[in-house]
Amino acid sequence: MKKLFQIYTYPRLLYLFIGIVFTLTISPLENYFSNFSSLKYLIPILIVLVIIIIVVEVKKKKHIKVNFSFNLARTESEKRTYAKKGIIVFVSLFDPRGSKAEGLSLVERENAAKNLDYRILDIENSNLRPTIEAINCHKTKIKHCWLIGTFDTKKKKGSVTYQDVFIEYLKKEKSINCDFHYGQDYAIPLDDDALICKKTYEILKKIFEETSSLGLECKDIIADYTSGIRSMAAGMILSCLHSDNDIQLMGTKYNDLAKPEGELFPIYISFEPELKVHE
């Protein structure tokens, strides 16, 4: 959107500049041409013509087109090429279904998280696997990682409960030793979709403000929306459109029953606004 503002504003500033210059030169020109009776109507005619040109240019219909570029990274070499210094990810509430921890009780899972015992939780084979892969794609350059989780409530634990053990796994098993930004300050209450979308947008906006203080530019940051629910994903994508940040989605293949299968691979999506003027 910053680029779009520049694209949309520069032509108007140009017209304003032309108008100011023309206004400043009217009096000298009028005094000069007043000495020639045959040219005494030239200045009024020029004024009318300039006004008509400016009005026509401003009134032209403008269409905003957003160009997208998609890049895939299936090999380690390709992942190194697209690796970023910072990544923002959603961390879902830990779900052991399909992993060795499926038989653990809720209390046992929470105790394992408290003790940073990621092996008992079998995190790599849980629902957190896409998030692990999303971060791991950038391991060659990553310096900062923001984990957006969900709040704990009186009735239910949020995903922030499992963030410490998740980070422990990343450090020990994936050798990712970047600065992690997480906790209640980056947590979202699971209320209705409208509030979730708004809160996600606000948190992303705050993170983008932090990145500048850390010496990171827009090109250094990517936001992965793979693991977020639809309203969280919407908030993230809207915030990235506003700030010119790229987004990432972990893709895979699907079988005939539309079930995911095979390895995960990152899809990098970039936005480029373009202003089209219709004659």
- CA end-to-end span of the chain, whole Å? 24
Residue 127 pLDDT? 93
Same domain, 75 and 210: yes
Residue ending a domain, choose from 26, 43, 59: 59
Residue closest to 225 by CA, chosen among 242, 201, 253, 244: 201
Same domain, 122 and 150: yes
Residue 194 pLDDT? 84
Residues of the chain with pLDDT under 50: 1, 4-5, 7-8
Same domain, 34 and 123: no
DSSP codes, 157-214 = --GGGGHHHHHHHHHHHS---SEEE-SGGGEE----HHHHHHHHHHHHHHHHHHHHHT
Residue 47 pLDDT? 60
Summarised one tens digit per residue, pLDDT across range 150-162 is 987 777 778 999 9
Same domain, 45 and 74: no
Residue 134 pLDDT? 96
Same domain, 16 and 125: no
Residue ending a domain, choose from 59, 79, 101: 59
Residue ending a domain, choose from 59, 80, 107: 59
Same domain, 106 and 207: yes
Same domain, 243 and 120: yes
Residue 150 pLDDT? 92
Summarised one tens digit per residue, pLDDT across range 153-211 is 777 778 999 999 999 999 999 999 999 999 999 999 887 788 899 999 999 999 999 99
Q: What is the CATH number of the domain that holds 89?
A: 3.40.50.10770
In order of 15, 65, 100, 183, the CA distances from 11 in angstroms are 6, 17, 61, 45
DSSP letter at 38 equals G
Q: Please check whether residue 132 is in contact with residue 78, taking contact to mean a CB–CB distance below 8 angstroms.
A: no
- CA geometry: angle 183, 219, 200, nearest 5 deg: 35
Phi, psi of 222 (to 5 degrees): -140, 145
Residue 139 pLDDT? 95
Same domain, 32 and 105: no
Question: What's the domain count of the chain?
Answer: 2
Q: Please check whether residue 211 is in contact with residue 146, taking contact to mean a CB–CB distance below 8 angstroms.
A: no
Same domain, 188 and 83: yes
Residue 5 pLDDT? 46
Q: 244 lies in which domain range? A: 67-278
Same domain, 36 and 91: no
